[in-house]
Structure formats: C-alpha cells, structure tokens
Amino acid sequence: GAGVSQSPRYKVTKRGQDVALRCDPISGHVSLYWYRQALGQGPEFLTYFNYEAQQDKSGLPNDRFSAERPEGSISTLTIQRTEQRDSAMYRCASSGGSRVWYFGPGTRLLVL
Amino acid sequence: EDQVTQSPEALRLQEGESSSLNCSYTVSGLRGLFWYRQDPGKGPEFLFTLYSAGEEKEKERLKATLTKKESFLHITAPKPEDSATYLCAVQGTQGGSEKLVFGKGTKLTVNP
C-alpha cells in the first residue's frame, strides 16, 4: 500500500507555541520511530513504539517533547513551548518486523 | 555509545568512474549495519542490511561490504542518477533498543 505519510509537510510557528506533528505509518507496521534531522546531518533518534507502547524515549531532548500512539497506528509528536532550536526536519519511520525501516517525507518545522 | 563516521563528506565522480564510500563504526555488539540513500527533500530509502563481518550485498551498481570496524559502499561505473546522499547507520545491542544511529552521510555527485 501507500508509504509512510506525515503532516503537515511544513509548519511555521512562533516561539512559545505548541505544535503537533502527525505520522501515519504503513498499514500493519507494528513499530514506529521518530527521528529529527538537521540540515547536512543524518537522522537522530527521538523515540519509538511497538504497537501503542512507547519502548524507548531516550532520544527526546527534554520534557517539552512527547509522543503518543494510542491505537497502535497513527502517532503524534508534540512539542510544547517551542524554541528556535527546535527548528528541524522531523521524520517518522515504520517497520513491519523485517528490520527494514521505511521513512516518511518529514515535517519541516520552523520556529520564529 | 554507538558512533558512526562517514567519509568523505562529499564526493564528485565522472560518469563511469568507480569509487567507494566509507563508514567506520563503534558499537556495543552489532545487530546490523544499514545503508540508505537520500535524495534532496525526501526521506532515506533503504538499500542494504549487513549483519556480520565478511558479509557482502549487491544491488545494481552498488555493493556493500562489512568488516568488524567499517563498511564500504562500492559504486561501479556510476551514472548521474546515482547522485544522492548515502547514509550509514548501525543498530547495537546495548539496552535492547531498536534505534538506529546514523552517520552524517556522504553526498555523491556523478557528472555526465
């Protein structure tokens, strides 16, 4: 079926606002991952889920960042009280157990 | 802490000029080494997974090899459509996490 989708593709917000980034994984994929990618860098791990359970959140930079996947499908990454240093490309990936990660197109976040 | 270093940062080749990209890694027990291709504005696209030293995998003009300390991505007779950033990532055994640790990538440009 369709690949991993993310929305919005671009988000411009003012410092101090909250943002919610959505990831729709490939249908049937158990595992879902969030990464952040700065320009000219490789993706940096944030957190991942198996089904609805958040298994590892060690990469979340601070407590302003949170993620959920309540029904084991769509996931939301929320950033509260955004700061300029949060500006980056946020990428989602999903995996169906084959140990191949399929990445989405990303959400470009710009905090003014 | 798992680490990945890729070299060179950028590589320019003439069409048909073969070369290799390097990925050096340190990991607490290797579960897998992954190569991805990333085109501008898109998410990383899976190429190969290597699991143990001595393993090799091929796909069209690309061949990936693995030793205990590094991996090479050999590009034979490249074409302009091979131009992209190539990312290397490792998955270690520490903590049982599923996360991938990426390098910064090698930006490959193949001129016609």
pLDDT digits (tens, 9 = 90+) for A24-33: 999 999 999 9
Instruction: Give tens-digit pLDDT for A87-105.
Output: 999 999 999 877 889 999 9
Question: Residues A47, A51, A52, A56: is their CA dihedral positive or negative?
Answer: negative
Q: Which of B36, B52, B91, B100 would best serve as a mutation to test chain A binding (most A beta carbons within 10 A)?
A: B100
Report, as an integer, the average pLDDT of A61-71. 96
Cα gap B36→B47, rounded to integer Å = 5
Which one of A42, A55, A106 has the shortest CB-CB distance to B104?
A42
Question: Does A66 score more than 60 pLDDT?
Answer: yes
Total CB pairs under 8 A between chain A and B:
59
Question: What percent of chain A lies above the pLDDT cut of 70?
Answer: 99
Question: How far A102 CA lies from chain B's nearest CA (Å)?
Answer: 7
Average pLDDT, chain A: 95
Least confident of A47-51, A90-94, A99-103, B83-87: A99-103
Confidence of residue B96 (pLDDT cuts 50, 70, 90): low
Query: In a mutagenesis test of the A interface, which of B98, B102, B106, B107 is the best target, namely the one with the most A β-carbons within 10 Å?
Result: B98
Please state the rounded mean pLDDT for residues B27-32: 90
**Which positions in chain A touch B102 (Cβ < 8 Å)?**
42-44
**Residue A54 predicted with pLDDT over 80:** yes
Torsion angle of alpha carbons B62, B43, A55, A57, nearest 10°?
Answer: 120
Nearest CA in chain B to A4: B43
Instruction: Write the DSSP symbol of residue B52.
Output: S
- pLDDT for residue A71: 93
Residues contacting B40, CB < 8 A, separation 6+: none
Q: Is B105 helix (H, G, I), strand (E, B) or coil?
A: coil
Per-residue pLDDT, averaged over B29-47, amounts to 94
In the predicted structure, residue A1 carries a pLDDT above the cut 80: no
